[in-house]
Homo-oligomer: A and B are copies of this chain.
């Protein structure tokens, strides 16, 4: 029986399918070839047991033996420490993967996810009120464009940092936000062409479709 148990929602609406964050964990597990199984919690009624594992009432969380981990960043770091396929083991490579993991989450996604929330809510792109957030994302993408013009993967080779960064950019692309950033687009396409992504993505879609 698999040691690793990934928990996600039993069902979600059409809109977020393919983007629920268990995808990042599935992708990492597939890259590493680690055996795991998937369990579900109700989307509609988030009980105390759910909050005990994930205090914000979100998904995913991962149970590894007697340790339960929430936050995809923390889960990916944990898996990176279990598998050299996910994170270099030399000090400098490890440090590069970790800093780019945090950069994806706290420098890029901190700008892109709020921007995507406004896009989803149809707040017009020209409106003054969203200007600070549009500028915030632009600054980050301009710098990522420069970085990704000069490297194939963020930490010298594919790592957990690329799983998060590529998935962050996928959501920007969904709302047409990568049109001026060809290197970001190429990088995202390169990452999502990996068989482990395709498997993770198909598995997430099938999981939610099974509950319809």
Contacts and interface: CB of A to CB of B under 8 A. Distances in A.
Interface stretch (A9-17, A112-120, A180-188, A190-198): A112-120
A143 B129 CA distance: 27
Given A69-B95, A143-B57, A109 B110 contact: yes
Interface in A48-76: 51, 55-58, 66-67, 69-74
A99 B114 contact: no
**Secondary structure class of chain A's binding surface, majority of residues:** helix
Contacts of A139: 56
Q: How many copies does the complex hold?
A: 2
A69, A133, A140: residue with the most chain B Cβ atoms closer than 10 Å = A133
A174 interface: no
Nearest to A57: B143
A170 B49 CA distance: 30
Interface string A135-159: 0100110010011000000000000
Given A110-B110, A110-B114, A114-B114, 15 more contacts: A51-B146, A55-B147, A56-B103, A56-B139, A70-B99, A71-B107, A73-B105, A74-B101, A102-B105, A105-B106, A114-B132, A114-B133, A117-B132, A127-B129, A129-B130
Interface of A: 51, 55-58, 66-67, 69-74, 77-78, 91-92, 95, 98-99, 101-103, 105-107, 109-111, 113-114, 117-118, 120-121, 123, 127-133, 136, 139-140, 143, 146-147
